[in-house]
Structure 1
Amino acid sequence: MEENVRYDPKALRVFMERVFLHFGIPENDARLATDVLAYSDEHGIDSHGIARLKTYYGLLRAGRINPKPRVKLIREKHAVVQVDGDNGLGLVVGPKCMDIAIEKAGNYGSGSVAVCHTNHFGAAGYYPLMAVKHDFIGMAMTNTSKGVAPFLGKERMLGTNPVAMAFPADKEPTVLMDFASSTVAYGKVEIARRAGKKIPEGWCLDANGDATTAPEKMINGGALLPLGSSREGSGHKGYCLAGMVDILSAVLSGANWGPFAIPFAIDTVGGGRQVGKGIGHFFSAWDVDGFREVGEFKQEMDQWVKTLRASIPLPGEAEVLIPGDPEWRSYRERTKSGIPLQGEVVADLKAIAQETGIAMPHRTS
C-alpha cells in the first residue's frame, strides 16, 4: 500500500466539504467543519485531520450525530455560559461556542463557555487562534472517550483531554500551545500502527498493565499513560491536568465525564452508562486590553519569543523552538508541496468516494 502520497490542500478541502454536504449539513456548517479538519492537515497534525473523516462519515451515516444542530444557551450569567450542542458535529459546535466566548470577552473583558451534548471537535489549537484574530488570548479544551489510565492505575478511565492556548504577538508568530494531557495523543498510536512501526517506551500499557512499544497491544485492551508516564516522571502532573480538563469540559457543562464519555470510534459498541449528554468542551477568551495596552503586550510577546529562541540548544539540536513553530513551519511547507497521507487513509477516502459518488481529490505527487 502506498505511503505518504501528497494531495493538494484545496482539493482535500473540497472533498471534505462535499462529504459533509452529502449528509445534509448546511453549507456554512459544512465549510466550517472542513476548515477545522483542514487546519490539522495543513499544520502538521496528521492525527486530527482528514484521517478522522472516516469516523465522522460513519457516525453521520449511522445517524449518531445530528447534521443540523441548534446550539442552545441553557444558562448564562454575565461572562459565563452553559451551552447544549444538540448532538451536533464538534467541528461545528466548537467554533460557534468559541465565538460566544469571544463575544463575551468583547463585552466583559473575558468570556467562558462550557458546552455539553457535543462530539469530537478536532485539534484544540484551532479554537484559541480564533480569539487571537481579535487580539485576545484564547483557550480551548475537551474531554474525550476513555483511553488513558489514571496515575498508578492500568484501567482506561480518562480521555487524552487536550488543552490549547494562544497568545498574540506583534511581528513574531502567534505563540500556540496545543497538547494532550496524556503522554501522547491516541491518533499518534494509530499512525504508528498504520505505518507498522513501534512506539516509544513510556507511551502506553498493554492489557496487563505492562509497558509496551507495540501499538496494537495498547489499542487492544491497553491504555495510554498520563503526561509524565510514571512515578519517576511525575505522571501525577498529567493526571491532574487531565482531571482539570475533564471537570471543566464535562462536569461543569453537564456532559459525560471520565470513563462515561461517549466513544468516538464508530465500531465501538454502545456507550455504557451515561451520566450526562455527549462529551463536553470548554472555551475561554480574554481581552488583553483589560490587562495592559494591546500594542505593548504584543511587543513584549515579541521579546519573549526572541529571548527564548536565542537560548542555547542541547548538543545535537539545531535550535530552541517556540510553541507553535512546528505548526507554522508545516503550514508553509504543506501549502506548497501538498498534504502527505498514509496509504490506509487514502484507501478510506477511496471507499467514501465510491460509496458517495464524490470524486477523489487530486494528488500533487
Structure 2
Amino acid sequence: MSINLLTYDNLKIFCEAAFHRFGFNEHDSAVITDVLLLADLYGIDSHGTNRIVMYHDQIRAGYIDIGAKPLIVSETPVSAVIDGMSGMGQLVSKFAMKKAIALAKTSGIGLVTVRNSNHYGIAGYYSLMACNEGFLGISMTNSLAAVVPTFGRVPMLGTNPFAFSFPAVPQPFHFDASTSVVTVGKAEVSGKTGKALPVGWGINADGYDELDPSALLRGIYAGTAGLHPLGGGTEEHGGHKGYGFSMVVEILSSIMSGGTTSNHVEKEEGKSGVCHFFAAIDPKIFGNPAVIQNKLEIFLEELRNSMKADGKDRIYTHGEKEAESYTRRIEEGIPVNEKTVEEMKDLADYLKMDFYRYFPELKI
C-alpha cells in the first residue's frame, strides 16, 4: 500500500471545500478542518483526513444536523450542561470548551458536560484550547461502544479518550490517549494499509484474539466483537485499570450530562448521542502560575535527562512527539495512505469537485 505526501495547504483547501459542499458555512468548515488537520500534523492519522468520509456518511444517515446550534441547558458560576442538538462534534465541542474557559476566567474553574453531540475528533484539540489561555485543560468523550469490559466479550464502552494539557516551555505537557489499547481508527488504518492486527488489540465473537482488521471492525459495528481496554484483556497486565479509566470518562461525559452511554450510542435511528466533558482550570487558584509552570518545566527536564534503558537514547515527555511531527509534516507533507486517497477521490466525484485541482501532484 503506497503512501502519498500531501501538503497541509492543499489538504486544508480541499477539506474546507468538501465540508462547505456538505452544507456547512465557511467558518464552520474551517473549524472542522482545523481539528482534523491538527490530528494529521500530530501524527494521529486515525483521526485526521481519514475521517472525512465517515462524517459525510453520518450526515447522510441523519446523525449530524448541519444547522444545529448547541444549547446551554443549565449553568452555575463554575459549570454548565450543554445539549449539542445533534450538531457536528467539533463545532459543539469548541463552543463547550470556550464556555469552560469563560467560566475559568471569572471563577478560576470551568466544568462543562455535553450530551447529544457527535464524534469530535482528537480530544487534545480542546484541552490545548484551554492550555493556550494559560489554563490546565481537560477533554473527554464517550463514543460508539467498541471496547469490552474486563472479562467481557460484548462491547459496552467507547474508546473514551482523555486529554490533559498544561502550559510549559518549550512545549506544553500534552497527554492525549484512548482508554482502550488502541482506537477504532487505528484498526481502520491497519485495514487500509493491509496490515494484520497485533495480538492483544481485540477479540472476536468467540472470545479469541482477532488479527483481521476488517473482521474486527465488522464485529465492533455488529456489537459482537471489541477492542480491549488499556492494559489488555486480563487483570495481570492491568486491563481492569483501563476499564476503570474508561468508566471515569463515561461518568463525567454521559452520566453527568444526562446523555447517552456508549452502549446506546448510534442505536437510535438518526441520533448519535455522543457525550463530552471539558474542564479549564486557572492555576492561579493554587498559587503563582509562573512558579507552578517553572516547577513543571524543571520536572519535565529531569525526566528527559534521567537514565535511559539499554539501547535507548531518549526519554520523551508527553507532547514532544506531537510537536516534532507537526514541524516535520508542515515542512515535508502529510502522509496519506492510498486507500484514504481513493476515498477522498470518490467523495470529490460525488460532490462534483475536481479532485486533481486540489492535488495536482496525484494526477497520473
TM-score if structure 2 supplies the norm length? 0.93
Residues 305-324 of structure 1 deviation map (CA, whole Å, 9 limit, x = unaligned): 10100112221222111011
| 2:183 alignment counterpart | 185
Helix, strand or coil at the partner of 2:312: coil
> How far apart, CA to CA, are the structure 2 residues paired with 1:335 and 1:284?
30
> How far apart, CA to CA, are the structure 1 residues paired with 2:15 and 2:62?
18
> How far apart, CA to CA, are the structure 2 residues paired with 1:362 and 1:277?
33
**Within the alignment, does 1:30 sit opposite 2:29 as a pair?**
yes
Runs of 4+ in 1 over 4 A off after TM superposition: none
1:277 Cα shift?
7.2
- Tell me the amino acid that sits aligned with residue 301 of structure 1: L
1:351 to 1:362, Cα distance in 2 relative to 1, 3 A: same
1:207 to 1:6, Cα distance in 2 relative to 1, 3 A: same
| 1:337 alignment counterpart | 332
| 2:241 alignment counterpart | 237
> How far apart, CA to CA, are the structure 2 residues paired with 1:322 and 1:53?
30
1:328 paired residue among 323, 332, 345: 323
- Tell me the amino acid that sits aligned with residue 178 of structure 1: D
Residues 338-358 of structure 1 deviation map (CA, whole Å, 9 limit, x = unaligned): 010011100011011111122
Contact 2:37–2:48 (Cα < 8 Å) also in 1 = yes
- Tell me the amino acid that sits aligned with residue 209 of structure 1: G
- Tell me the amino acid that sits aligned with residue 297 of structure 2: D
Residues 56-75 of structure 1 deviation map (CA, whole Å, 9 limit, x = unaligned): 11222344311121111001
**Within the alignment, does 1:311 sit opposite 2:306 as a pair?**
yes
| 1:46 alignment counterpart | 45
Structure 1: tracts of 5 or more residues without a match: 263-270
| 2:97 alignment counterpart | 98
Residues 157-193 of structure 1 deviation map (CA, whole Å, 9 limit, x = unaligned): 1110000000101x32111000000011111111111
| 1:148 alignment counterpart | 147
1:318 to 1:213, Cα distance in 2 relative to 1, 3 A: farther
| 1:175 alignment counterpart | 173
- Tell me the amino acid that sits aligned with residue 336 of structure 2: L
1:43 to 1:359, Cα distance in 2 relative to 1, 3 A: farther
| 2:6 alignment counterpart | 7
Contact 2:63–2:118 (Cα < 8 Å) also in 1 = no
> How far apart, CA to CA, are the structure 2 residues paired with 1:201 and 1:277?
31
**Within the alignment, does 1:227 sit opposite 2:226 as a pair?**
no
Contact 1:37–1:48 (Cα < 8 Å) also in 2 = yes
> How far apart, CA to CA, are the structure 2 residues paired with 1:161 and 1:64?
19
1:8 to 1:17, Cα distance in 2 relative to 1, 3 A: same
1:258 to 1:63, Cα distance in 2 relative to 1, 3 A: closer
- Tell me the amino acid that sits aligned with residue 224 of structure 1: L
**Within the alignment, does 1:159 sit opposite 2:162 as a pair?**
no
| 1:362 alignment counterpart | 359
1:175 to 1:155, Cα distance in 2 relative to 1, 3 A: same
Helix, strand or coil at the partner of 1:104: helix
**Number of residue pairs matched?**
354
> How far apart, CA to CA, are the structure 2 residues paired with 1:135 and 1:326?
21
Contact 2:118–2:272 (Cα < 8 Å) also in 1 = no
Contact 2:180–2:227 (Cα < 8 Å) also in 1 = yes
> How far apart, CA to CA, are the structure 1 residues paired with 2:269 and 2:344?
33
- Tell me the amino acid that sits aligned with residue 39 of structure 2: S
- Tell me the amino acid that sits aligned with residue 220 of structure 1: R
* Percent of matched pairs sharing the same residue: 34
- Tell me the amino acid that sits aligned with residue 245 of structure 2: L
| 1:197 alignment counterpart | 195
TM-score if structure 1 supplies the norm length? 0.93
Helix, strand or coil at the partner of 2:75: strand
Contact 1:7–1:363 (Cα < 8 Å) also in 2 = no
Residues 249-285 of structure 1 deviation map (CA, whole Å, 9 limit, x = unaligned): 11111221031112xxxxxxxx2599x9711000000
| 1:132 alignment counterpart | 131
Aligned pairs for 1:205-354 (under 5 A) are 205-221=203-219, 222-229=225-232, 230-262=234-266, 271-272=267-268, 278-354=273-349
> How far apart, CA to CA, are the structure 2 residues paired with 1:74 and 1:62?
26
1:28 Cα shift?
1.4
Helix, strand or coil at the partner of 1:352: helix
Contact 1:74–1:84 (Cα < 8 Å) also in 2 = yes
Contact 1:15–1:358 (Cα < 8 Å) also in 2 = no
Helix, strand or coil at the partner of 2:257: coil
| 1:268 alignment counterpart | none
| 1:60 alignment counterpart | 59
| 1:267 alignment counterpart | none
Which structure: greater helix fraction? 2
1:204 to 1:363, Cα distance in 2 relative to 1, 3 A: farther
Aligned-residue RMSD, C-alpha: 1.7
Contact 1:164–1:178 (Cα < 8 Å) also in 2 = yes
